[in-house]
Amino acid sequence: MLILTPRLKAIANSIKGFDTMADIGSDHAYLPIYLARNGQVKKAIATDVNRGPVEISKDRIRNNEVQEKVEVRHGNGLEPIRQGESEAIVIAGMGGMLIRDILDNGVNVAKSAKMLILQPMRDSDKVRKWLIEKGFDIIDEELVKEQDRIYEILWAEPSGEGKKAEGLMLVGDKIIQKKHPLAAEFVSKKADEMEKVIAAMKDMDTEKCRERREECKMLLNFYREVLRCVQ
């Protein structure tokens, strides 16, 4: 039996009512295999830019007897997926800037999906800004804890015209609005990181350092303000 980590399980649980899905940068193909075995999708595509994960995934798919339902494709970002081919597209476990670039390079494929499920490991603000500016609605966000780490997951639907992204977008509006049970811990960690950076730059006096310190102070104030909202 394939047991998913809480992060991948939260993603899997949200894939309901879709016939097809693609997992971009799937690595081990756990998610597509799990969804196929559970009957949650009729067809899943696992992609990866690296040959190693593609070959390992092929074996794992055979061992789990889901060859009829799960296909592995080798390729960069959304390139292996045709427009309209996958109703749900997952891009998880990568940095936010890489996720943004993958979406940007394959915007027509991204727009042809009914749902994007994105799990940036960092720089989630870059993903949120891209989504808003390119005409996607962020319909929900979730925080999932594994050991000491809290992961962010975003769900977005294509909505039409893009608009200017306002504000810092460092924490999801949905997370703040629903006072997510992990929000205070998540934001406190971010504030602590900023305090450490500011402390480490205490005696550095170049113009660049002064600018960075001021930026960090501004971010620290932002996190403290968010913390007051979610407590």
Given candidates 25, 32, 96, 172, which one binds ligand SAM under the rule CB under 6 A? 25
Closer residue to ligand SAM, CB minimum distance, 65 or 146: 146
Question: Which 79-138 positions form the footprint of ligand SAM (CB under 6 A)?
Answer: 92-94, 98, 102
| 52-71 positions binding ligand SAM, by CB under 6 A | 53
Task: For the CB of residue 96, give the shortest distance to ligand SAM in the complex, in Å.
Answer: 13
Query: Cα separations (Å) of 141 from 119, 152, 155?
Result: 10, 7, 6
SS3 166: coil
Scanning 40-182, the segments in alpha helix (DSSP H) are 51-63, 96-105, 107-112, 124-133, 173-177
Question: In whole angstroms, how close is the CB of 82 to ligand SAM at the nearest point?
Answer: 16
When the beta carbons of 29 and 219 are compared against ligand SAM, the nearer one is 29
CB-hemisphere CA count at 13 Å for 175?
25
Q: End-to-end alpha-carbon separation of the chain, Å?
A: 39
132 — phi, psi (to 5°)? -65, -45
Residue closer to ligand SAM, measured from CB, 23 or 187 = 23
CB of 76 to ligand SAM, least distance (A): 5
H or E stretch at 94: strand 88-94
* Residues of the shown chain interacting with ligand SAM in the complex, contacts defined by CB under 6 A: 8, 24-27, 47-50, 53, 76-77, 92-94, 98, 102
